[in-house]
Amino acid sequence: MPRILILGGTTEARLLGERLAKRGGLDVTLSLAGRTAAPVPHAVPVRVGGFGGAAGLADYLAAERIDVLIDATHPYATVISQNAVAAAHATGVPFVALLRPAWRAVAGDRWIEVNDTHAAVSAIGVQGRSVFVALGRNELAPFKDAPQHRYLVRSVDPVEPPLPLPHVTYITARGPFSEADDRALMTAHGIEVVIAKNSGGNAAYGKIAAARTLGIDVILVRRPVVADAPAVETIDAAVAWLDHTLTSAVARGV
């Protein structure tokens, strides 16, 4: 059976694994970085932990005789994505990234786009504001330099240790979050600005739509670009690419 490695940690990775598991005839492994304490269940075998950089991933691909590599990690997981490109090139393993489309501003959106979290903190301004922070818990350190604001921080796992800030409220929750739920949350906390990544997809879009309805500013951290990464945008497209790749390999007698 063809051996498929999916680099996961996203809804798309989980759903892709489910699609491939139902088909049969494929040996699929889904790899998680292990940063989330309680990951959701998956339909295919799961490997947890890093590979040791691009060289380590290349060694794994060779040792496990992986036939196809699919990078379905988060759009901002640039290190593993860059390692995946390098490892695929080094080993000759067919590779594609499953990369959900970025959100695009529509009428009513009040977006400020910045390059990183430090710039996002600066964009809040000097005067104290009520800020909804929807970023990974490992990206919160820059906020300690702006203690004048009131923060609402939502993350999948608890923020440990807590930020050294005088006014911060933590919410531990896993999406998807609806527009109605996020609108109610923002209203209850008097939110004046939202800070988020341009993650794309539907699961995290509730806060963007809610901010639009409420006329709230959104500070978006721009999506990074991984060079030389061939990509598709949907699970259907990833499956079609996989079928074509496997068919081509059979035709070549690989």
pLDDT in tens, 174-221: 888 999 999 999 999 999 999 999 999 888 899 999 999 999 999 999
Task: Locate the domains of the chain by residue range.
Answer: 3-101+225-251, 111-221
In Å, the largest CA–CA distance within the chain is 66
111-221 is classed CATH 3.30.70 = no
Q: Which amino acid is at 5?
A: L
Q: Which residues contact 98 (CB under 8 A, 6 or more apart)?
A: 12, 13, 16, 70, 71, 72, 231, 232, 233, 234, 235, 237, 238
Give the SS3 label for residue 171: strand
- Is residue 250's pLDDT more than 80? no
Residue with tokens 């990234």: 97
pLDDT band at 33 (very low <50, low <70, confident <90, very high): confident
Q: Calculate the alpha carbon distances from 198 to 19, 60, 100, 201, 221 in Å.
A: 26, 31, 10, 9, 6
Let me know if the fold of 3-101+225-251 is the same as that of 111-221.
yes
Winning range, highest mean pLDDT, from 8-12, 117-121, 228-232, 250-254 = 117-121
Supply the pTM of this predicted model: 0.88
CATH H-level, domain 3-101+225-251: superfamily: NAD(P)-binding Rossmann-like Domain (3.40.50.720)
